[in-house]
């Protein structure tokens, strides 16, 4: 069902992503390193899950956010998460493969490299590739006490030696994921490895309209065209927000209530995300607010902060803007030959305007 709030699992639930799905499935077979990129709520997790379910390969998904939220992102935590895959493999009933190695726990003598090597042997024996996917992989930079570098060494070893494993990393904070993997830095473990990048973009206006229209049809609802057009005016082509609106509209059959509740629910989510930013500095919120209100040039943002008696050096402001770009909150564009900044998610922009 298109208006299911959970990540999609089946091809028929994945709307207008045939190109990206084919590209992802091809990448599983052709590349050892795949990056699945896009902003929050764009549908990366859905695309990944559907691709793994459609693939003839063996897929394992580890959500790096879950490990981060538990407060300890270390080898034991990753091993514990991977320990849960043994039930999945048993369901496959691969009689020709010895699955005894899956009987491990965090107290065993096995390390991550041992498990990766065993998975590689499983792939070889079964004639299938092992798709080892880390969702929201930018959080892996919190692994251990070396900024996740130990994992990067493991990934480089896997790329070079374990030919039956494809590593997949998804990331909504695209710049942070690139900074963590650091494929172009000679001093970093993954330097020089070839990665296939697949970017999930927002729906076009036409596709957004058809998405909402088809979602309502599934529920037997004949929503007026002007309601759908107005919803797209406010929510743009970001599937996560369109699903929220469609779900609420299906319950209320009232456009104003549905849009208002969508923004109320979005506001809680976005404020939680901004609070995470404020753990770095409360200046992040004010910079985002300035851009949302149209103070979109570097000089204007500086003036906005100064007017609110928020002191920051030029270098610090530039650093904040770079970080917000890396985390997928804003993007830089050229207007009349000058740099301007724009909030990427229109719902975030409208909520910041109203705060």
Nearest residue to 181 (alpha-carbon basis) of 142, 158, 149, 145: 149
The answer to whether 182 touches 191, Cβ cutoff 8 Å, is yes
Residues 6+ positions from 293 with CB-CB distance below 8 Å: 304, 352, 353
- Can you tell me whether residue 59 is helix, strand or coil? strand
Q: Would you state the torsion angle of the CA atoms of residues 298, 300, 305, 309, taken in this order, to the nearest 10 degrees?
A: 130
For residue 139, which phi and psi values (nearest 5 degrees)? Answer: -70, -15
pLDDT along the chain (355 residues), means of 10: 91 94 96 95 94 89 86 80 60 46 49 86 85 93 90 96 97 91 94 95 96 96 96 95 97 96 93 88 95 96 95 95 93 93 94 89
Q: What's the pLDDT at 174? A: 87
pLDDT digits (tens, 9 = 90+) for 189-228: 999 999 999 999 999 999 999 999 999 999 999 999 999 9
Distance CA 316, CA 318 (A): 5
Residue 95's pLDDT is 44
Strands 196-199 and 33-37: parallel
Q: Which two tokens stand for residue 257?
A: 């209530």
Kind plus residue range of the DSSP H or E element containing 85: helix 85-92
Cβ-Cβ contacts under 8 Å for 101 (sequence gap 6 or more): 115, 118, 122
Domains, the chain, with CATH or none: 11-199 (3.40.50.300), 205-273 (1.10.8.60), 282-354 (1.10.10.10)
Positions of E strands within the chain: 33-37, 58-63, 130-135, 165-171, 196-199, 330-335, 338-343
Per-residue pLDDT tens over the stretch 282-329 = 999 999 999 999 999 999 999 999 999 999 999 999 999 999 999 999
Rounded CA gap, 139 and 200, in Å? 20
* pLDDT score, position 315: 95
Residues 118, 119, 122, 126, Cα dihedral to 10°: -170
pTM: 0.87
**Predicted local confidence at residue 320, as pLDDT:** 95
């Amino acid at each position: 069902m298109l208006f299911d709030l959970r990540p999609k699992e089946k091809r028929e639930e994945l709307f207008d992503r045939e190109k990206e799905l084919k590209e992802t499935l091809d990448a599983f077979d052709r590349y050892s390193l795949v990056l699945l990129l896009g902003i929050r709520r764009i549908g990366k997790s859905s695309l990944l899950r559907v691709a793994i379910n459609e693939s003839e390969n063996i897929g394992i998904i580890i959500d790096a956010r879950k490990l981060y939220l538990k407060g300890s992102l270390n080898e034991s935590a990753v091993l514990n998460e991977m320990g849960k895959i043994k039930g999945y493999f048993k369901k496959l009933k691969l009689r020709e493969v010895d699955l005894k190695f899956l009987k491990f726990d965090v107290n065993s003598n096995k390390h991550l490299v041992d498990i990766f090597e065993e998975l590689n042997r499983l792939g070889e024996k079964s004639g299938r590739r092992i798709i080892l996917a880390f969702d929201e992989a930018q959080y892996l930079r919190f692994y251990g006490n070396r900024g996740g570098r130990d994992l990067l060494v493991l990934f480089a070893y896997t790329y070079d030696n374990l030919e039956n494993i494809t590593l997949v990393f998804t990331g909504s904070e695209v710049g942070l994921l690139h900074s963590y993997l650091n494929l172009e830095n000679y001093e970093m473990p993954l330097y020089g490895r070839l990665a296939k990048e697949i970017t999930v973009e927002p729906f076009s206006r036409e596709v957004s309209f058809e998405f909402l229209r088809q979602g309502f049809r599934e529920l037997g609802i004949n929503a007026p065209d002007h309601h759908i057009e107005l919803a797209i005016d406010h929510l743009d082509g970001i599937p996560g927000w369109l699903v929220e609106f469609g779900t609420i509209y299906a319950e209320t059959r009232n456009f104003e209530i549905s849009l208002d509740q969508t923004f109320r629910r979005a506001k809680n989510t976005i404020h939680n995300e901004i609070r995470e930013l404020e753990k770095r500095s409360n200046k992040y919120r004010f910079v985002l607010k300035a851009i949302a209100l149209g103070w979109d040039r570097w000089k204007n943002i500086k003036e906005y902060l100064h007017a609110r008696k928020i002191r920051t050096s030029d270098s610090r402001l530039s650093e904040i803007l770079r970080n917000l770009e890396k985390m997928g909150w804003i993007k830089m564009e050229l207007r009349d030959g000058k740099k301007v900044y724009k909030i990427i998610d229109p719902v975030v922009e409208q909520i910041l305007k109203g705060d």
